A = this chain, B = another copy of it.
Amino acid sequence: MATEVYIAGVGMTKFGKSTASLPELMVEAASRAIGDARIHTIDYVCIGVMNAEEFTGDSNIAALIADRLGLSGVPSSRVETASSTGSAVFESAFYAVASGYHKNVLIIAGEKMTHLPTARTTKILAEVIEQTERNHGASMPALAAMIAQKYQHEAKLSAEKMQGVLAKVAIKNHYNGSLNPYAQFRKLVSEEDYFGSKWVSFPLRTYDCAPITDGAVAVVLTAEKKLIRVSGLGHATDTLAVRHRDSFTSFRSTRLAALQAYHMARVNPKDISLAEVHDAFTPFEIIGIEDLGFFPPKQGWKAVEEGITSIKGRLPINPSGGLKARGHPVGASGLAQIAEVVWQLRNELDSLRQVKGARIGLTQNIGGLANNNLVTILERTDFYRPVPVYWQPPFNAGNSETREVSDQPPSSNSGILETFTTLYTTPEGVPSPLTLGFVRTDDHKMILARGRQEKLEIGQRVELEKESNLYYFRTDSPPGAAQKRTGNWLSRVWTPSDPKEEKS
């Protein structure tokens, strides 16, 4: 039997823009967690940071942080899984305690991002995207926007309804953030603010996207019995390329990770008192609460509308403010979710912010574009809970088998537009705005292609063309277009202000 693992202490820095260096932020969070834990013997240090190499030039960070903490001598390792690093380092530390080889493990996760120009930060973040999709100009917001667009279509919502739902997620999380002293944003956001904010990638606005943030979080795990126990862990990957997946609007990595975590904890979604869900983009919160089994597929938006997920609702989601309002220092967010759940379960927050009677809490953390996700379940150890010997999976996680995906070029040049977006802040070297769409060709290949800015609809027929390794799609082929294609048609894609284009 594995050793049970408890949480002895948590601590975090205020999230936001900071003048402190990454090691300084990490040391501050660690000092708070060690103080909170009242444990001063650390056997092992686990560091989580997504990309210190490129963000800050800090290499060899595991040894560096141990040294800064005055813990040189103590073993220290760094763990990374893109934006789910905070949960992955928690998982590694969990195994170290559960194995019986370490008693007290200090976990520190952090990221320092605000000091770089936004374009540079966005570029570093985009390196998690699969190469072909990145080459077409897909950024994280562009992919998230196409997923939102597809969700709207599948949930049969009008564009206005969808916007209203996304606004509600943003407004709720900003309200929660306004109550959280650690949050980057503590201002309330109104519908007016939301609808007045700029398009990032249609249909996502500024208020649909988590900000760029500095911050660090620390947790002390221990084999000694404490109030909060780690009762469930789940971790699953998915294909790097979004086009290789079965679905745009549900993340297999979340579903698999959730099933593992529920199984290990022997609980079901209905037993969860509150959850921190990875809302890097507002639609991901809605997809998350469906994938976690809290609400049926394509019904999560209703829960948001009905206030079920608000802090005083039946199932509070992101009582901390989430990535949206607390901020998103990429490698730290997963551990910040865990810290929030610990505080909530300990019942030690201000009454406005406290979820009443919380006993079991869950976090869901997305790595990359949902291809390395983790789910963590924590619970209070001071209440009786019957643990079923035969636990029934609460939902079907879908195909968990290996799938063969092929990047062979399609043999057909036409197909169906599966989803699309127009990205306004494009990667370096890509003209703005950029229209992107996933096209399912008639021979069942999924292709990401650039399009032109025009009225598009999911499900409409398009034609594909390939030029210098990039695919382009267009919705119509008027007679004689064949002659105009080369050069002319392609170049027109990039000149949305072309007067002929505007007239059409």
Contacts and interface: CB of A to CB of B under 8 A. Distances in A.
Interface of A: 1-3, 44-45, 51, 53-54, 57-60, 62-64, 66-67, 70-82, 88, 91-92, 94-96, 98-101, 124, 127-128, 233, 235-241, 244, 252-253, 256-257, 367-368, 371-372, 374, 400-404
A2 B79 contact: no
A99 B400 CA distance: 24
A76 B92 CA distance: 11
Contacts of A73: 236-238, 252-253, 256, 400-402
A240 B63 contact: yes
Given A66-B237, A237-B63, A404-B70, A78 B76 contact: no
Given A44-B235, A92-B96, 12 more contacts: A60-B368, A63-B237, A67-B237, A72-B402, A72-B403, A73-B252, A76-B237, A77-B88, A94-B99, A95-B96, A98-B100, A98-B101
- Copies of this chain, whole number: 2
B81 A63 contact: yes
A79 to B, nearest CB: 6
Contacts of A76: 81, 237, 372
Contact of A127 (B59, B101, B241): B59
A238 B77 contact: no
A353 to B, nearest CB: 32
Nearest 8 CB-CB pairings of A with B: A75-B235, A59-B127, A60-B128, A98-B99, A95-B95, A63-B372, A99-B99, A63-B371
16 contacts: A60-B240, A60-B372, A63-B82, A63-B240, A64-B240, A66-B237, A67-B239, A72-B237, A72-B402, A75-B257, A77-B79, A77-B80, A77-B235, A78-B80, A92-B96, A95-B95
A95 B101 CA distance: 8
With most chain B CB atoms within 10 A of its CB, the pick from A66, A70, A73, A367 is: A73
Nearest to A256: B73
Contacts of A101: 2, 95, 98, 233
With most chain B CB atoms within 10 A of its CB, the pick from A3, A74, A92, A372 is: A372
A77 B81 contact: yes
A308 B59 CA distance: 37
B74 A236 contact: yes
A64 B374 CA distance: 16
A403 B241 CA distance: 48
Nearest to A399: B73
Contacts of A402: 70-73
Contacts of A92: 77, 79, 92, 95-96
A77 B101 CA distance: 20
Contacts of A80: 62, 77-80
Contacts of A100: 1-2, 98-99
A403 to B, nearest CB: 7
Contact of A237 (B59, B74, B96, B374): B74
B71 A91 contact: no
A77 B365 CA distance: 14
Nearest to A371: B63
Contacts of A91: 77
Nearest to A87: B77
Given A237-B71, A404-B70, A367 B82 contact: no
Nearest to A398: B73
A109 to B, nearest CB: 13
Contacts of A67: 237-241, 244, 371
Contacts of A75: 235-237, 257, 372, 374
Nearest to A70: B402
Contacts of A82: 59-60, 62-63
